[in-house]
């Protein structure tokens, strides 16, 4: 096996900073809070923490509307608190990855204030301004991801500006070299402060069609869908020249030693893998969200794993994600009973896993009463189930008031089950989901074949998925039962002999010879005997 880098061997853990740990009783998490909880990450065994945006922001989109790229919002702390966090993260042998939001700024960013001031302002071209259509309406049919048109008229200067998200999030013009240079300096600012890499927000949005042609209608749009689904985003996103922009970002990343560039990309596999770059000069890890949208049947999982595994270019490194702050919780998507096999799948596939805070204890979507909705998407397109508050609720640490998250009033309601589903309780239970995650992570570390070996499907019938991870040194078999009925005598390749290393269910350490039975929703990892 070739020498691997930390972001290939390691496991990422995403922290949504508003919801992880509050240290000053304002009901919102902060940097000192994250620092106070680093023990949890060490106990869990992950290698790197990615923190969603912490920069000064009016919080129209909870930090994804950045008003100053080189500061810390007072809600989260200040640069001293950030430096303390970096020092402690590194002191524990962990890495820290920040969210970089280059596609758009806040409308309160000084650059946008200048840009909108006058048509001849030197910063006018830092954003995307267009004349109205002949009828006075928006320049084209592009829709905002959060509902309504993606163009807002600035009455004073008589032009529309483009915003792929909220009107408070104007898109930067990445065709302008001055914008690119300014944003490159932002990356350098944080890397010089010790940051180990970036997760780049909506990286596939950075370039738009130079002629601003209309998007084609989406034949699959159905009433009840969000506005963004009315049209296919073929002109407004994923343009061929975005890869030049990303290569420039990568070159900046490579100015510093051993940093990582991760891209947020919601595209089908064939388009997704282009973000590695034609000669691997793109993102190190274009986020792979296939498991988020998958149906959890063995044939479908096997098909998407095979398609993805084959599509990752030679020399490119795969990765897998079960959840994030924009998607319903995995426990709610596939049902609590399957969270254990899901954890085993995530931590035994070929490629870097990313965990979302709280998934390690099986946190579920928390229903949010309408009057407590916070997410602007929910407010713009209410009642369609598009809102993201349910997966952003406070971390459940213990059974004390507000789950140990805050001494104040939490910014989103806590899950009703926090007194029984929390880190403290699950640490005490040998068979808890949390301890399964810890065991899986420890096993992945102890058996390099699990991060670096090849993947080979053995069985994908009905609800049973069996695959091998192989290297010159070792071979591990993973068998997952996705269903609630037992599976008796699953045949394994002739001559299969081995030893169960770990099961999602208690009390299993037997020898395996030729076949295997699985209990309902059980997954097992088997170390195969070395062939003589």
Contact residues for ligand GLC, defined by CB under 6 A: 61, 64, 101, 165, 201-202, 264, 325-326
Cα separation, 442 vs 20, in Å, equals 23
Tell me the DSSP string of 401-460.
GGGGT-SS--SSPPPTTTTTSSHHHHHH-TTSHHHHHHHHHHHHHH-THHHHSEEEEEEE
Q: How far is the CB of 110 from ligand GLC (least distance, A)?
A: 19
Taking CB atoms within 8 Å and a gap of at least 24, the contacts of 493-501 are: 493/458, 496/528, 497/528, 497/529, 498/526, 498/527, 498/528, 498/529, 499/526, 499/527, 499/529, 500/524, 500/525, 500/526, 501/443, 501/447, 501/476, 501/525, 501/526, 501/527
Which residue, 325 or 444, is less far from ligand GLC as judged by CB? 325
Which residue, 325 or 350, is less far from ligand GLC as judged by CB? 325
Tokens 């969603």, residue located: 52
78, 131, 244, 255: the active-site residue: 255
Q: How far is the CB of 276 from ligand GLC (least distance, A)?
A: 20
Q: Which pair of tokens denotes residue 120?
A: 């001849």
Q: How far is the CB of 321 from ligand GLC (least distance, A)?
A: 12
**Nearest partner of 475 among 459, 503, 494, 452, judged by Cα:** 452
Tokens 């009840």, residue located: 224
Q: How far is the CB of 206 from ligand GLC (least distance, A)?
A: 12
Cα separation, 470 vs 1, in Å, equals 11
Distances in Å between the Cα of 253 and the Cα atoms of 195, 211, 249, 260 are 11, 30, 6, 7
Distances in Å between the Cα of 337 and the Cα atoms of 195, 331, 384, 487 are 37, 8, 26, 16
Cα separation, 414 vs 44, in Å, equals 22
The one-character DSSP state at 497 is: E
Which residue, 164 or 344, is less far from ligand GLC as judged by CB? 164
Which residue, 202 or 460, is less far from ligand GLC as judged by CB? 202
Cα separation, 341 vs 333, in Å, equals 13
Cα separation, 458 vs 452, in Å, equals 18
The helix-helix angle for 177-192 and 242-253 (nearest 10°) equals 30
Strand 159-162's sheet: what is its strand order?
129-130, 159-162, 151-154
CA dihedral 403, 386, 322, 104 (to 10 degrees): -100
Residues 6+ apart with CB under 8 A from 402: 394, 408, 409, 410, 414
Q: Which pair of tokens denotes residue 93?
A: 């042998």
Which residue, 102 or 453, is less far from ligand GLC as judged by CB? 102
Residues 6+ apart with CB under 8 A from 461: 298, 299
22, 61, 107, 201: the active-site residue: 201
Q: How far is the CB of 65 from ligand GLC (least distance, A)?
A: 7
Strand 464-470's sheet: what is its strand order?
454-461, 464-470, 475-481, 523-528, 497-503, 511-513
Which residue, 231 or 521, is less far from ligand GLC as judged by CB? 231
Q: How far is the CB of 202 from ligand GLC (least distance, A)?
A: 5
Distances in Å between the Cα of 113 and the Cα atoms of 47, 107, 168, 288 are 40, 7, 12, 36
Tokens 């595994």, residue located: 309
**Residue 255 catalytic?**
yes
For β-strands 511-513 and 497-503, DSSP reports them as antiparallel
Q: How far is the CB of 104 from ligand GLC (least distance, A)?
A: 7
**Residue 201 catalytic?**
yes
Q: How far is the CB of 325 from ligand GLC (least distance, A)?
A: 6
Q: How far is the CB of 304 from ligand GLC (least distance, A)?
A: 21
Q: Which pair of tokens denotes residue 512?
A: 């395996």
Q: How far is the CB of 228 from ligand GLC (least distance, A)?
A: 11
User: What residues are annotated to the active site?
Assistant: 201, 255
């Amino acid at each position: 096996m070739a020498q691997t880098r930390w972001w290939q061997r390691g496991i990422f853990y995403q922290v949504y900073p508003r919801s992880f740990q509050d240290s000053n009783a304002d009901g919102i998490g902060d940097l000192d809070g994250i620092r106070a909880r680093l023990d949890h990450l060490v106990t869990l065994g992950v290698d790197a923490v990615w923190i969603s945006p912490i920069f000064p922001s009016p919080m129209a989109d909870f930090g994804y509307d950045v008003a100053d790229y080189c500061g810390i919002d007072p809600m989260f702390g200040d640069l001293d608190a950030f430096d303390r966090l970096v020092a402690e993260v590194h002191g524990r042998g962990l890495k820290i990855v920040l969210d970089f939001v280059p596609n758009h700024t806040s409308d309160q960013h000084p650059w946008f204030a200048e840009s909108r001031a006058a048509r001849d302002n030197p910063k006018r071209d830092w954003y995307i301004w267009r004349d109205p259509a002949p009828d006075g309406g928006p320049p084209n049919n592009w829709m905002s991801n959060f509902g309504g048109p993606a163009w807002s008229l600035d009455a004073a200067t008589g032009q529309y500006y483009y915003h792929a998200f909220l009107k408070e999030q104007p898109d930067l013009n990445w065709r302008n070299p001055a914008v690119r240079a300014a944003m490159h300096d932002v990356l350098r600012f944080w890397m010089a402060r010790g940051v180990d890499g970036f997760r780049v927000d909506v990286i596939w949005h950075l370039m738009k069609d130079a002629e601003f042609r209309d998007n084609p209608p989406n034949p699959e749009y159905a009433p009840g869908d969000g506005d963004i689904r009315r049209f296919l985003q073929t002109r407004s996103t994923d343009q061929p020249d975005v890869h030049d922009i990303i290569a420039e970002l990568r070159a900046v990343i490579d100015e510093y030693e051993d940093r990582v560039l991760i891209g947020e990309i919601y595209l089908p596999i064939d388009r997704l893998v282009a973000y590695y770059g034609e000669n691997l000069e793109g993102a190190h890890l274009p986020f792979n969200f296939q498991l988020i949208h998958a149906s959890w049947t063995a044939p479908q999982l096997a098909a998407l794993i095979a398609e993805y595994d084959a599509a990752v270019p030679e020399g490119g490194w795969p990765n897998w994600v079960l959840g994030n702050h924009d998607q319903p919780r995995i426990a709610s998507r596939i049902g609590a009973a399957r969270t254990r096999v899901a954890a085993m799948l995530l931590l035994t596939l070929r490629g870097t896993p990313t965990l979302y805070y709280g998934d390690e204890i099986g946190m579920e979507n928390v229903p949010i009463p309408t009057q407590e909705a916070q997410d602007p998407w929910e407010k713009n397109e209410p009642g369609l189930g598009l809102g993201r508050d349910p997966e952003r609720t406070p971390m459940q640490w213990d059974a004390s008031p507000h789950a140990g998250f805050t001494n104040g009033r939490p910014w989103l309601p806590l899950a009703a089950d926090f007194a029984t589903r929390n880190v403290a309780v699950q640490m005490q239970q040998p068979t808890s989901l949390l301890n399964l995650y810890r065991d899986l992570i420890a096993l992945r570390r102890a058996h390099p074949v699990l991060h670096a070996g090849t993947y080979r499907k053995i069985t994908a019938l009905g609800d049973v998925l069996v695959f091998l991870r192989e290297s010159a040194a070792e071979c591990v078999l993973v068998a997952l039962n996705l269903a609630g009925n037992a599976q008796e005598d699953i045949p394994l390749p002739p001559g299969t002999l081995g030893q169960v290393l770990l099961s999602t269910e208690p009390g299993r350490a037997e020898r395996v010879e030729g076949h295997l039975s699985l209990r309902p929703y059980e997954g097992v990892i088997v170390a195969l005997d070395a062939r003589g």
